[in-house]
Amino acid sequence: MITRKRLATGACGALLAALAVGLLPTSAAADDGPTATDSPKESPKVELVLDVSGSMRARDIDGQSRMSAAKQAFNEVLDAVPEEVRLGIRTLGADYPGQDRQRGCKDTRQLYPVGPLDRTEAKTAVATLAPTGWTPIGPALLGAAEDLKGGEATKRIVLITDGEDTCAPLDPCVVARDIAAKGIHLVIDTLGLVPDAKTRRQLMCIAEATGGTYTSVHRTEELSGRVRQLVDRAADPVVTPIAAQGAERCADAPTLKPGLYTDRQVIGRHRWYRVDVLPGQELRASVSVSADRAVNDDYGVLLRAVTVHGREIVRGSEAGDGRTDVVSTGLRYPKAELDEGFGDGDAKPAAEVVCLQVSNSFSAPPSVKTTPGMPVELAIDVVDGPASSSDVASFGLGRGWWLLGALALAGFLGGLLWGWLSRWRVAVWRTH
């Protein structure tokens, strides 16, 4: 038997569902499928370049050798490679154990060809590696660029090494610049395993030459996580960052258009940038600062939007504790539309200059150099803002206020219905 209590509960549930459907904004129609004129997109190409030189025997990563940590990370990465990625593996220093420098500096070969991935075959090939010889980074990068040549696909080299090149004068930094100058859109990312200062400088130079990234690695999970991230980035590429140089004050700062930018920030210093925002537009900005050297635990990054007169508009901040090498934060600033009737005629409304301040609270041991500054990646976007002031994002909820409004109204009406049913139930009980 259906009791009055169940009836009331069911009525409230139906009311909630009806209100949610009626008040929440409907989703946009699905995009049309690809047309007959769409051309198939080339599969992205990635080559992992692994240092197998003698120094990889050192046992300083999670109690195991650097080589063991690299193999473990590779197995995890190979399991997670997206199907659309064409992946290859190249080694350096894996075959020649002798002292002949000329032979040692030619010791690089493709372990697994760039193409559709057979995970078992690739893992088996990596399992056979043992720390052996020299560190010919320059020749390995030239070989990897040759492995990836051809086509218009996204191309990425991920270099994993624990030491600087031992085959100068073929400077790997110059090699990277030459690769970038060819205009083949090849990015080189570098990962240093427990790097010293000289190795760090060289790997940073290689990465910067092609618009890539540098990461310092001290744990196995850091290595596997970062390599997986870079392979995924090849599958879903981002816009190549544009070099920008922030100023020490807003008045001297460069004006940035929507896009992705890179800069350097000295530990404990500010960087300023300017963005023009028209009435009715919304500024969206985010920043990431990479700890590419040994820093003390407990640090943070702050991104502030202020007016040219110094009044703060909005801010975003994030803190770290030494367990990550990248700290990111962001903010949103919707600029209200002009009042109706204001600015009649053909005059274009003036843009507001928004000053963006990037600050960090990193600190480093006395032995660590503070220059060059740490890598900064700044993303800027300016989009059409909400249709009305009631839609303006507040406390980070944005259009989520629709849901809160629907739930609040549903609760109010549900309470009225429940009260009416309760009073009716009492009245009926008293008549019997």
R_g of the chain, CA atoms, integer Å: 29
Confidence of residue 426 (pLDDT cuts 50, 70, 90): low
Confidence of residue 212 (pLDDT cuts 50, 70, 90): confident
Do residues 143 and 256 share a domain?
no
Do residues 379 and 260 share a domain?
yes
Do residues 98 and 183 share a domain?
yes
Do residues 147 and 229 share a domain?
yes
What is the per-residue pLDDT across 306-357, written as a single tens digit (0 to 9) for each? Answer: 999 999 999 998 887 765 567 788 899 998 876 555 455 556 678 999 999 9
Do residues 50 and 139 share a domain?
yes
Can you name the residues that pair with 286 across neighbouring β-strands? 330, 379
List for the chain the helix, strand, coil content (%; round to 5). 35, 25, 40
First to last CA, the chain: 20
Q: Is residue 14 situated within a structural domain?
A: no
Query: What residues make up the domain containing 270?
Result: 242-340+348-389
CATH number at residue 142: 3.40.50.410
CATH number at residue 376: 2.60.120.380
Confidence of residue 20 (pLDDT cuts 50, 70, 90): very low
Do residues 108 and 156 share a domain?
yes
Q: Is residue 305 situated within a structural domain?
A: yes
Among the residue ranges 71-75, 351-355, 388-392, the one predicted with the least confidence is: 388-392
Q: Which of 235, 259, 279 corresponds to the end of one domain?
A: 235
Contact 172, 141 (CB under 8 A): yes
Do residues 65 and 96 share a domain?
yes
Do residues 121 and 138 share a domain?
yes
Do residues 273 and 207 share a domain?
no
Contacts of 122 by beta carbon, 8 Å cutoff, 6+ apart: 78, 87, 89, 112
Q: Which of 169, 203, 235 corresponds to the end of one domain?
A: 235
Residues in the chain: 432
Q: Is residue 414 situated within a structural domain?
A: no
Domain count, the chain: 2
Residue 265's pLDDT is what?
87
Do residues 119 and 164 share a domain?
yes
List phi, psi (to 5°) of 243: -70, 130
Confidence of residue 288 (pLDDT cuts 50, 70, 90): confident
For the cut 90, the answer to whether the pLDDT of residue 42 exceeds it is no
Order of strands across the sheet with 155-161?
Answer: 108-115, 86-92, 45-51, 155-161, 186-193, 214-217
Q: Work out the average pLDDT over 185-206.
A: 89
Among the residue ranges 144-153, 164-173, 339-348, the one predicted with the least confidence is: 339-348
